[in-house]
Structure 1
Amino acid sequence: MSGHGFIKERIRASVAVKEQLMKDENLLGLIGSVAEEMANTFKAGGCVLFCGNGGSAADAQHISAELSGRFYNDREPLNAEALHVNTSYMTAVANDYSYDEVYARLVKAKGRKGDMLVAISTSGNSANIVKAVETANRLGMITVGLTGESGGKMKGLCKYLVNIPSKDTPRIQESHILVGHIICELVEQKLFGKV
Structure 2
Amino acid sequence: MKEQAEARIKELVTRYPSLSSLEESLRESAERLIRCYRTGHKIMVCGNGGSAADALHIVGELMKAFVCKRAITEEWQEKFAKLPDGAYMSRNLQMALPAISLVSETGLLTAYANDVAPDMNFAQQVFGQGNEGDVLIAISTSGNSKNVLYAAEVAKAKSITVIALTGHDGGKLKEYADILLNVPEKETFKIQELHLPVYHALCLAVEAEFYGGAD
Identity %: 41
Match of 2:48 among 50, 53, 73: 53
User: What amino acid maps onto 1:60 in structure 2?
Assistant: A
SS at match of 1:49: strand
Residue identity opposite 1:156 in structure 2 = E
How far apart are residue 194 of structure 1 and its match?
A: 5.0
> Match for residue 72 of structure 1?
67
Q: Per-residue deviation at 1:171?
A: 1.0
1:88 is matched with 107
1:99 aligned residue: 118
**Deviation digits for residues 151-173 of structure 1, max 9, x if unmatched?**
00011110001001010111110
> Which residue of 1 is the match for residue 30 of structure 2?
35
Aligned partner of residue 150 in structure 1, secondary structure: coil
> What's the CA shift string for 1:117-168, capped at 9, x where partnerless?
0000000000000000000000000110000001000111100010010101
Q: Distance in 2 between matches of 1:63 and 1:168?
A: 22
Specify which of 124, 135, 157 is matched with residue 138 of structure 1: 157
Name the amino acid aligned to 1:63. Answer: I
Q: State whether residues 52 and 103 of structure 2, in contact with CA within 8 Å, keep that contact through their aligned partners in structure 1.
A: yes
Indicate conservation of the 8 Å contact 2:166/2:183, yes or no.
Answer: yes
| Structure 2, unaligned runs of 5 or more | 1-15, 71-94
Larger radius of gyration: 2
Matched residue, 1:127: 146
Instruction: List structure 1 segments (4+ residues) > 3 angstroms apart after TM superposition.
Output: none
Mind listing any 5+ residue stretches in structure 1 that lack a counterpart? 1-17
Match of 1:177 among 184, 188, 196: 196
1:20 pairs with 2:38: no
Do the aligned partners of 2:69 and 2:211 also contact (CA within 8 Å) in 1?
Answer: no
- TM-score w.r.t. structure 1 length? 0.87
* Distance in structure 2 (CA, Å) of the matches to 1:194 and 1:174: 31
Using the TM superposition, give the Cα deviation of residue 19 of structure 1 relative to its aligned residue in structure 2, in angstroms: 2.9
**Helix, strand or coil for the counterpart of 2:66?**
coil
Whole-angstrom distance in 1 between the partners of 2:65 and 2:30: 16
Return the alpha-carbon distance in structure 1 between the equivalents of residues 24 and 213 of structure 2: 20
Q: How far apart in 2 are the matches of 1:74 and 1:109?
A: 33
Aligned partners of 1:50 and 1:81 also within 8 Å: yes
Contact 1:117 1:142 in 2 (8 A): yes
- Higher RCO by CA contacts (8 Å cutoff, separation 6 or greater): 2
